[in-house]
Structure 1
Amino acid sequence: MTQERTGVITFKGNPITLIGPDVKVGDQAPDFRVVDQGLAPVTLADSAGKIRLISATPSIDTGVCDTMVRKFNQAAAALPDNVAVYTISLDLPFAQKRWCGAAGIERVQVLSDYQDRSFGLAYGVLMKELKLLARSVFIIDAQGKVVYREIVAEGTNEPDYDAALAAVKKLV
């Protein structure tokens, strides 16, 4: 049976149920399978040995999500090559590709969880009522441990970019 959690987030002030486990700092990061913009599978294991900054967004075609990806893309330009930066949403890969081209996103790999909801379910950030991913950030070290986690309490707010990037810089 899939775990459901309430009281963690709201979206536009409305309480939301999250589906999946409560992944915490110190936990081994669960693997997942998403697809890139060419429909090729991407898993956490594909970036083994790297530091991973993974942000999840409800939809890149909205203002806050757009800003979030752009800010992480800008910050990622200053990070070394041993840091993989992913943004995962349920947007179709074709829409992601169009958006990334228009936005000039080059350093963040924008990935889609539309096929299996694998990331959303493994990390406990699938919003039951909206069938979208909750805005969240996970930092995973080179050994595969979660070292930072933020599930944004109000889904229409931005994450704490400085705290997430500070967590990455401690590992570099």
Structure 2
Amino acid sequence: MEKRKDIVTMKGNPMTLLGPEIKPGMRAPDFTLVDRDLNEVTLDDGKGKVRIFSVVPSIDTGVCDAQTRRFNEEAAKLKEVEIWTISVDLPFAQKRYCDAQGIDQVKLLSDHKYLSFGENYGFAMEEVRLLARGIVVVDRDNKVRYVEHVKEVSTHPDYERALEEVRKL
């Protein structure tokens, strides 16, 4: 497995990302995630739709919560776009979070079981087995259109830049 350094830090500590660097123009790699009802979800489950993959370390942190809320609000405006928040939180925790916070526009999906999104998209942080913060935009044909790895995991992504890319599609 490819290991990449000097891409992200967590509270100032350098992290090692597992997996390849995904770039715009590439075919989006497949993955298997688990939804809140323990059903498996793959890349093809959203085929034919523009998708935003909002990648967060854990929904139990302030920035992850804010990122998820922001995209939940944006999802209501982007009718033909699916937004998937992906973390390694257990599906049960994701369900509790959505129910408690009224998150009803985005799909929360867990990479806990397989870590296949993290490893296939280069977001898995080896030292902590969490996903680095970032955003990936995939078009209707499963082509990557935008990728952001947030340099310091405890800071926000560039929401506007990602949304700008989505609006072009």
- Which TM-score applies when normalising by structure 1? 0.97
Whether 1:96 aligns to 2:94 is yes
Secondary structure, in 3 states, of the residue corresponding to 1:49?
Answer: coil
Q: What letter matches 1:166 in structure 2?
A: E
Whether 1:145 aligns to 2:143 is yes
What CA distance in whole angstroms lies between the structure 2 residues aligned with 1:79 and 1:112?
Answer: 23
Question: Residue deviations 1:58-104, cap 9 Å, x none?
Answer: 00011010000000000111002x31110000000000000011111
Secondary structure, in 3 states, of the residue corresponding to 2:77?
Answer: coil
What CA distance in whole angstroms lies between the structure 1 residues aligned with 2:71 and 2:58?
Answer: 15
Say which of 147, 154, 157 aligns to 1:156: 154
| Corresponding residue number in structure 1 for 2:50 | 51
Whether 1:127 aligns to 2:121 is no
What CA distance in whole angstroms lies between the structure 1 residues aligned with 2:104 and 2:78?
Answer: 13
1:143 CA drift (Å)? 1.1
What CA distance in whole angstroms lies between the structure 1 residues aligned with 2:54 and 2:77?
Answer: 17
1:34 CA drift (Å)? 0.2
What CA distance in whole angstroms lies between the structure 2 residues aligned with 1:64 and 1:130?
Answer: 18
Secondary structure, in 3 states, of the residue corresponding to 1:77?
Answer: helix
Which residues of 2 match residues 44-123 of structure 1 at below 5 A? 44-80=43-79, 82-123=80-121
Q: What letter matches 1:18 in structure 2?
A: L
| Corresponding residue number in structure 1 for 2:12 | 13
Q: Which runs of no fewer than 5 residues in structure 1 stay unpaired?
A: none
Q: Identity rate of aligned residues, in percent?
A: 52
Q: Which runs of no fewer than 5 residues in structure 2 stay unpaired?
A: none
Whether 1:26 aligns to 2:25 is yes
| Corresponding residue number in structure 2 for 1:39 | 38
Q: Which stretches of structure 1, 4 residues or more, deviate above 2 A after TM superposition?
A: none
Measured on the aligned residues, the alpha-carbon RMSD in Å equals 0.6
Q: What letter matches 2:58 in structure 1?
A: S
1:156 CA drift (Å)? 0.3
What CA distance in whole angstroms lies between the structure 2 residues aligned with 1:131 and 1:35?
Answer: 17
